[in-house]
Structure 1
């Protein structure tokens, strides 16, 4: 019995097609854990809808993915001096984010990242005059800009891209291709219309693979069910049961990503209040699990184990049975399942 990712394949692929239509020339992104599907599966999907380029996060991911995808592979992490060499085919394109990086990639296929308001990495406006000599030594595939997801200052994403297009043009640098990230479909269309001589290519991962939440569902199988009375001791730490009910052992533990959570950027008083409440409950060993049963999110009885989680199900809920499955609300990018089932 397993932690399973169920995929409504027809619906999932229909969503992919809707994104492809909105972003002609899309560059699908397959990085990290493959958005919960794995690199091999997403490489197969990209091949299925005819993509000529697949973006991956690192050179190590490119090495793993090259046998699953026959087109070009774009590595999103910029090249750095003295990085560990990874044997890669010529169809791999490297990102670079500095004049020095361009100079070190002599003869290679490169995409030059420019510094956006993300302020993560990229060449600056002051660097542009130094790029002319450097790009003569590489095979330039285009420039790229990685934009922020939110714009709390009210600024416009299209204006930011236009600003860089104007700078690159003023520096007499080639503008045949511009790779962009985190644009809405209408913003992407506006840019393509304003700069018809440049091919814009949207690098998209989350929206492409995870944009239709109803197309996928995680479920953990019930492995064991043990009745408990209030005060009974149980588990590794021999805590006492909070009431009468059942301890349900469910497939899915820390090795799957269950119980792991990345920090959240909280905005507004409501989300902050909820965060404080969750932290307060955690101090008394009250932690909500991602598993739902009887229409409610159930509490961990104790911290999740490596491959299973133990939940407390109170006696006012239906008794879970071995072999039944509990829906789990898990984050795709941090979850590793035992199996994926298409249906």
Structure 2
């Protein structure tokens, strides 16, 4: 029996054609000499890493990128054979596994590179690395020419392939600024320092891909925008093509009741009916990623906005209805219904955060259902 027949009706529908469309449009923008690296870290930004990766590769992405060793291995175990780049730090012992599974890993310090180089003669296959340069993000990577060359030489001496070099921009989603210019200039200087240019030089995240085409180099890393979400309000207003949202979060009314004036709703009795009202219960709560701070957020029922009332519970929440409705009525929490739309940006504004955090917070206990362009989200 399908889970949808007996489980709760809360699901996240992922439109894989939207993923493919966003990748294809980005590839057209960057041109044939610049590849697209599909970033599928954090379980594909909450969309499901393996299925998103497959769709991105079908649309022409040249390789995949993740943040942790576990994420890289999970993709290999899912049967994906494309190049995988591990963007984050990895323990020295993981280098052996990376070589065995042909996973490209990030070299972020001379000491790390020298420790890996010492172990490399015992690897069953050659290891590939990308050198990380910290041009101003202050996260991972080397900051001096001396450390960069030390990493490079340690790798080459151990017959480790220096397959790439990259950096990450801290302010690419903001108006042109001094930090951006400093980082772009510093990265170009770092690339020129290497005795031999690697196969892949890359720096641009989604925002830089759209805002700074002069820094596209050999590849761009398409992250949040592959999922149809703009990196910032500034970028959204200047996009070279419309992004197609890939996720719709929906559920159904599971219980409906009539309240009288003065009746209260949920923990703390923070909501009190002002008169006769209809209130419905939704089977989704903060354990699913609908956080308590989203009390007061609108959902869509019958093509109309209906407000969450009272405190959001761990597994459920309540909404004020415009009139009596029957259990089973479809509800959209993220996505489009009728002429109305609720976006991750709207959730983010209420929570005082960014839409990245909204989608990656969606719990894995919400089933992901994969569609092929069946709706506009």
Same fold (TM over 0.5): yes
Go from structure 1 to structure 2 and tell me whether the alpha carbon gap of 1:239 and 1:215 turns closer, same or farther (over 3 Å shift): closer
Q: Which structure is higher in RCO with an 8 Å CA cutoff and minimum separation 6?
A: 1
Structure 2 distance, partners of 1:32, 1:123, is 25
The count of corresponding residues between Structure 1 and Structure 2 is 308
SS in 2 for 1:18: helix
Q: Distance in 2 between matches of 1:56 and 1:146?
A: 14
Over the aligned positions, Cα root-mean-square deviation in angstroms equals: 3.0
Q: Report the counterpart of residue 219 of structure 1 in structure 2.
A: 250
User: Match of 2:87?
Assistant: 76
1: CA distance, partners of 2:71 / 2:112: 20
Counterpart of 2:314 (choices 305, 319, 322) is: 305
For residue 139 of structure 1, the aligned residue among 154, 161, 171 is 161
Distance 1:191 1:232, change over 3 A: closer
Farther off after superposition, 163-172 or 202-211: 163-172
What does residue 208 of structure 1 align with? Answer: 226
**Alignment of 1:25 onto 2:35:** yes
For residues 258 and 174 of structure 2, the distance between their equivalents in structure 1, rounded to whole angstroms, comes to 51
Query: What is aligned with 1:187?
Result: 212
Corresponding position of 2:326: 321
CA displacement 1:37-94 (0-9 Å, x = unmatched): 2112112213322434211110011121113311121111123457798677431011
Matched ranges for 1:95-174 at <5 A: 95-106=106-117, 107=120, 108-126=127-145, 127-136=147-156, 137=158, 138-148=160-170, 149-151=172-174, 154-155=177-178, 157=180, 160-170=183-193, 172=195, 174=197
Question: TM-score when scaled to structure 2?
Answer: 0.71
Q: Which residue of 2 aligns with 1:291?
A: 299
Please report how far the alpha carbon of residue 234 of structure 1 lies from its aligned counterpart in structure 2 after TM superposition.
4.9
Q: Secondary structure at the match of 1:123?
A: coil
Is residue 180–residue 200 contact of structure 1 (8 Å, CA) maintained in 2?
A: no
Aligned counterparts of 1:259 and 1:191: Cα–Cα separation in 2 = 37
User: Normalized against structure 1, the TM-score is what?
Assistant: 0.78
CA distance in 2, matches of 1:166, 1:255: 47
Structure 2 regions of 5+ residues with no counterpart?
Answer: 1-7, 121-126, 230-242, 335-343, 345-357
User: Contact 1:53–1:73 at 8 Å: present in 2 too?
Assistant: yes
Describe the superposition over 1:238-287 as per-residue Cα deviations: whole angstroms up to 9, x where unpaired.
666333312211132223211167xxxxxxxxxxxxxxxxxxxxxxxx93
Uncovered stretches (5+) of structure 1, i.e. residues with no partner: 193-198, 262-285
More helix by share: 2
